[in-house]
A = this chain, B = another copy of it.
Amino acid sequence: MLETAILGLLNESPLHGYELRKRLNLLLGSFRAFSYGTLYPALKALVARGLIETADPEPTATTGRTARPPSGKAPLTTGRRGRIAYQLTPEGKEHLQTVLSSSGPAAWEDENFDVRFALFAQTDAETRLRILEGRRIRLTERLEAVREAAARTRERLDEYTLELQRHGLEQVEREVRWLDGLITTERDRARGRDRDHTTGAPDAPSPRSKERG
């Protein structure tokens, strides 16, 4: 799912590897932190598949730091200030849209959910809701399984193991409640936004109508 995260970030602006990694880790918060050993091969693979291509980075107009002029030699091995920026190709945009509109089990498993959630701003409302609900079911299933396994164990465990299990269960329960809140919010929004249809408008900049918080 690293690939999806990359495509999602590049859909907002072209970026080079170093910056991409920083944003990636910021995007996923304190959860995951992809390393270069993962990122660069993934970029290569995406280029090979024609989903992204190299490009010039934005001049970063906010600060005065302009991109350096190509004064003199540029040892092609690794360019002398060798920024290699990437941007989506049309195929990449298309592929990203396909992925973002999918909501199968692959979207709500542990290793994918946070990436998909981080890209919710680019995901349509219906898919958001389906992913949240699928994730919720997945977690409650696991809750059930762990509780059952613990009950079936006739060996009595020491207090530390029990505390670890209790803590783990509590974490998952809290996650479920978090999802409940998100699902409620999404349903409310869907009700407020839509009376008869209107499934699209994924770009629509956030409706500042905060009056009904």
- The reply to whether A117 and B164 contact each other, CB–CB distance below 8 Å, is yes
| A42 beta carbon closer than 8 Å to chain B | no
Residue A38 interfacial (CB < 8 Å): no
- The verdict on A27 contacting chain B, using a C-beta distance below 8 Å, is yes
CB distance from A209 to the nearest CB of B (A): 13
A71 is an interface residue with CB less than 8 A from chain B: no
Within 8 A of B (CB), among A113-171: 114, 117-121, 142-143, 146, 149-150, 153-154, 157-161, 163-165, 167-169, 171
B153 touches A26 (CB 8 A): yes
A169 touches B30 (CB 8 A): yes
Could you tell me the distance between the alpha carbons of A158 and B119 in the complex, rounded to whole angstroms?
9
Q: Which of A26, A28, A150, A174 has its CB near the most chain B CB atoms (within 10 A)?
A: A26
Q: Does A45 contact B (CB under 8 A)?
A: no
Q: Is the CB of A160 within 8 A of B30?
A: no
Which chain B positions have C-beta within 8 A of A159? 121, 206
In contact, B164 and A118 (Cβ under 8 angstroms): yes
B30 touches A168 (CB 8 A): yes
**Is A106 located at the chain interface by the 8 A CB criterion?**
no
Please give, as numbers and ranges, the residues of chain B lying within 8 Å of A55 by CB-CB distance.
Answer: none
